[in-house]
Amino acid sequence: MTRLLHLDASPRPGRSGTHEHGSHSRRLSHHFIEHWKAARPRDAVTRRDLGVRPPSLLNVEWIEAAFTPSAQRPAALQQVLAESDSLVDEVIQSDVLVLGVPLYNYSYPAAFKAWIDQIVRVERTIYFDPANIDHPVGPLLNDRPRHAVILSSRGGFGLGAGGPLAHLNHLEASVRTALELIGIGHFHEIAIEYQEEGGERLDASVRDALAEVERLVARLQRDAFPVPRAVSA
For residue 8, give the 3-state DSSP assignment.
strand
25 is in an annotated binding site: yes
Please give the CATH architecture assigned to the domain spanning 3-224: 3-Layer(aba) Sandwich (3.40)
pLDDT at position 213, please? 98
Distance of CA 181 to the CA centre of its chain: 14
- Quote the crossing angle between the two packed helices 110-119 and 171-182, to the nearest 10°: 10
For residue 51, give the 3-state DSSP assignment.
coil
155 is in an annotated binding site: yes
**Is residue 231's pLDDT more than 70?**
no
Region 36-49 average pLDDT = 97
pLDDT at position 20, please? 83
pLDDT at position 134, please? 86
For residue 79, give the 3-state DSSP assignment.
helix
Of all residues in the chain, what percent carry a pLDDT higher than 90?
A: 89
The predicted-structure confidence for 12-30, as pLDDT tens digits, reads as follows 988 988 888 889 999 999 9
70 is in an annotated binding site: no
198 is in an annotated binding site: no
24 is in an annotated binding site: yes
Of residues 135 and 144, the one with the higher pLDDT is 144
**For 169, phi and psi rounded to 5 degrees?**
-90, 110
Q: Cβ(22)–Cβ(16) under 8 Å?
A: yes
Q: What is the pTM of this model?
A: 0.94
User: What Å distances lie between residue 60 and 43, 57, 66, 77, 198, CA to CA?
Assistant: 39, 10, 10, 11, 44
16 is in an annotated binding site: no
**Is residue 230's pLDDT more than 70?**
no
The predicted-structure confidence for 62-90, as pLDDT tens digits, reads as follows 999 999 999 999 999 999 999 999 999 99
For residue 167, give the 3-state DSSP assignment.
helix
49: buried, middle or exposed (CB in 10 Å: 19+, 13-18, 0-12)? Answer: middle
